[in-house]
A and B are shown apart, each in its own frame.
Chain A
């Protein structure tokens, strides 16, 4: 199974800051990496698919990059609505499809 390691596990930043979350795969997953945002008590929602493609309706302050084993989610101009836990997910080598452990973002 491919293991997904996210860092940091939590962070605190200020409104307007740039935030960076990293995700490392235990093996090459090419570009098959997705990012999700989960607000407390809610279902996750897709932010970025295939490493760098912004899902329809997601604000452009979110961006993704990377390929192979190392990936990054960047949030520019952090807003109060961005308080959530963010998960990466690989789907290159399945089963199983695997998630990172999550990064909790606070303001």
Chain B
């Protein structure tokens, strides 16, 4: 099976712009989670989608949003970008079992200038 695929790998945006990141989970996985990874804060949970519904949400402002499509692919959108949004954004997919391990993508490196 192909692994979790995230596109694009790198992005440079300016403050105030918006950005959309994409994640294709492992085939058959219906749960997709998004994380923000920074050197100072580690892995911070953004949200999780399951069967096109947001199942869990972290403590991020409303500028961060996401969605999941019927084929389980997910997108994450950040509007009105701020310098502090610069980070590695990771996507992880899980199988249906509620204690299944998470499989991570390589991430999208977002730089806001």
A-B interaction? no
A interface residue numbers (CB < 8 A to B): none
B interface residue numbers (CB < 8 A to A): none
